A and B are shown apart, each in its own frame.
Chain A
Amino acid sequence: MAYITEYQYYENTGNPNTLDENWGSYQYVSLNDIVNNFILMYVGNDKLINNVERFNIIFHAKRAIQELNYDSMKEIKILELEVCDTLRYVLPHDYVNWVRISLYKNGTLLPLTENIQTNWSDAYLQDNNCRILFDHEGKILKPSTSTVDLQRITGGKKSIYLNEQSQYNGQEGYFYNGLWYFEYPVGARYGLNTETANANPTFKINKKSGVINFSSDMAGELCVLEYVSDGMENGVDSEISVNKLFEEFIYSYMKFVILSSKYGIQEYIVNRARKEKSALLRNAKLRLSNIHPGRLLMNLRGQNKWIK
């Protein structure tokens, strides 16, 4: 990315379709620049790498960016959508993995818990003897919705979580000798399973179908999904960029993978490249972790708090 003037930066001139395209752009280096710089500096007749096609370089540069996006880079995307009666949230087109899923209610973000049980299922049609039914082509017949799904959507499915679908919620007790008795302890729940002790709705991701399935108390609510993508910007190469803190790592990654896949490169050269790559990844992660005194101070202030 070419350097731009301060005026261009603040007023976003040169980007007529956007009002904020230039803001913060200085943190990033584009894929185009990475490829150009790599060819200029690391490829040549007098360099370790020569006779390498540009598409090889582009491929490895993109792979490096993808890998960084999965964990190290912390480039989190956030999408808010309403969950309708289907209790389904279709994953974004560039979704790779989720970071946090929250319910936005009463102006507060309430982080949701991933259900440790499944809340969706496929189903096969069966006869009275539990034999699976097939059509004339030998394919298994399926109902439109499984019982698990149907009950979840209609609100009939009970939950092991302590929310509205809890199997104990609203359960009647019985009155005897002037006292109410229930089937489970009321009040302090000693021996509570903390893993499921959450009153918020729960979710489970069906990766193959590309949806998040929620418990029925999420119907009509706003869901905020924080997720990571692979940084490929939907295939628009001109928009792919990476934080400058990772620039040197990307060069070393590309150098390593190209050298290690080339015929006749001595093992010590490959090893040198591998070590350099690993060291630079550590460096970049440290830099990006942003441990600075101000932030640390605020965290440490909690250490003297009295817990009553």
Chain B
Amino acid sequence: MKRLIGMINTVRATVLSIANKNNYGYITPNDFNLYAKQAQLDIFEDYFYQYNSQIVKQNARVSGSGYADILKGIEEVVDSFSSTKSLVTSGLNTYDMPEDYYLMNKINYYPLFITQGAVTVVSQDRIVDQNADFIADGVQPGMLVVSVTNPLDPSVIVTGDSAFVVSVDGINQLTISSNIGIVQDQGYAILSTSRITEVERVSQNKIFYLNSSPLTQPNSTFPAYVLGGANSTVYGNTITVYPNTLTTEGTIIGQYIRYPKDPNWTYFNIITGGEPSFDETAPDYQDFELPDSDQTNLVNKILQYAGVSIRETALAQFGKMEEKESDQQEG
């Protein structure tokens, strides 16, 4: 799946070129960003419905394989939003879901906890902890490193990001596969990747029976969780993991599909009051996260919103008609 660099600018230019007849349909950057966010979310959600519809077709044997395997393409797009994070415990066996999660796909339990500590020297793609002895602890390449709460300084923000150990450089330094947003005094945990087991999601009305039955009672080999309400304004929902002995932060790792980031067409003004100029170097710049092939859909969706906004029926209808035509083709 390829993403066009600066697709947001191309989409905006196309939208303006269609809508802005005689300067009547000019869309401000702020309005455009709002429409863009709405359009992206709409298309993103639609992928899941398309996915289901394709499975139904596949089971009815009306879809093909090879280049006709539409399902594979959809999976690819959805997987591009996949993220893996350690869940932060909010007390005992209750954990917070990541704030950007759309759909929790899998929660895994890593039973083999190797070591934990706090970063003493910040270094790109490295864990440096002068109080650690990674060799004595048995840290090996391939193990998982996650960001966790520092017990000595809980005020340090926990990202929950994860990476793998690439090499053990010394007794107190590791090279890791990606920068997991580690800052000074950031807590980390290292886990072995063997004997991982999935934590199964169970509905609230089943968990009592599940815990009561000797044959199905969750244990460390087959753990389970139930989804609860939101814990605070910072995080999404909370989960309660069973058995209730699974309380070690860093051992519960979630693989989820996150929401796409809000697109933001950033600009700078060359002339005051003039046409803003695209600035992709701005720190808050955010391109669309959908693939190139969705550019047409994005344009059509934004045109619909813009058409309604400027009360231009023809524009909204054009967008709608184009979208319908595209849907029929994909059918």
Residues of A within 8 A of B (CB): 31-32, 35, 45-46, 53-55, 58-59, 62-63, 232, 235-238
Contact = CB atoms under 8 A, between A and B. Distances in A.
Nearest to A58: B222
A239 to B, nearest CB: 9
A46 B58 contact: yes
Nearest to B58: A46
16 contacts: A31-B221, A32-B197, A32-B221, A45-B59, A46-B55, A46-B58, A53-B200, A53-B202, A55-B202, A55-B210, A55-B222, A59-B213, A63-B215, A232-B215, A235-B214, A237-B222
Contacts of A35: 222
B284 to A, nearest CB: 40
B216 interface: yes
Contacts of A55: 200, 202, 206, 210, 216, 222, 224
Contact of A45 (B55, B210, B214): B55
Interface residues of B, number: 19
Interface string B190-226: 0000000110101000100010011111011110100
Nearest to A235: B214
A31 B224 CA distance: 17
A45 B58 contact: yes
Contacts of A237: 219, 221-222
Nearest to B51: A45
B181 to A, nearest CB: 33
Nearest to A35: B222
Contacts of A45: 55, 58-59
B202 A58 contact: no
A54 B215 contact: no
A235 B219 CA distance: 9
Contacts of B220: 238
B215 to A, nearest CB: 5
Given A53-B200, A53-B202, A55-B200, A62 B215 contact: yes
A54 B198 contact: yes
B58 A59 contact: no
A59 B221 contact: no
Given A58-B216, A237-B221, 6 more contacts: A31-B221, A53-B200, A54-B222, A55-B210, A232-B214, A235-B214
A232 B213 CA distance: 13
Contacts of A54: 198, 200, 222
Contacts of A238: 220-221
Nearest to B213: A59
A82 B216 CA distance: 36
B107 to A, nearest CB: 12
- Majority-rule SS of A interface residues: helix
The 8 nearest A-B residue pairs measured at CB: A237-B221, A54-B200, A238-B221, A45-B55, A55-B216, A62-B215, A59-B216, A59-B215
A46 B59 contact: yes
A65 to B, nearest CB: 10
Interface string B28-41: 00000000000000
B56 to A, nearest CB: 9
Most chain-A Cβ atoms within 10 A of its Cβ — which of B58, B202, B221?
B221
A53 B199 CA distance: 12
Contacts of B217: 235
Contacts of B202: 53, 55
Nearest to A66: B215
B51 to A, nearest CB: 10
Nearest to A39: B198
A53 B58 CA distance: 22
A35 B200 CA distance: 13
Contacts of B200: 53-55
B200 to A, nearest CB: 4
Contacts of B222: 35, 54-55, 58, 237
A35 B220 CA distance: 15
A238 B215 CA distance: 13
A62 B219 CA distance: 14
Contact of A58 (B55, B59, B206, B215): B215
Contacts of A235: 214, 217, 219
A240 to B, nearest CB: 9
Nearest to A31: B221
Interface in B47-90: 55, 58-59
A141 to B, nearest CB: 36
Contacts of A58: 215-216, 222
Contacts of A31: 221
Contacts of A63: 215
A59 to B, nearest CB: 5
Contacts of A59: 213, 215-216
Contacts of A32: 197, 221
A81 B217 CA distance: 32
Contacts of B59: 45-46
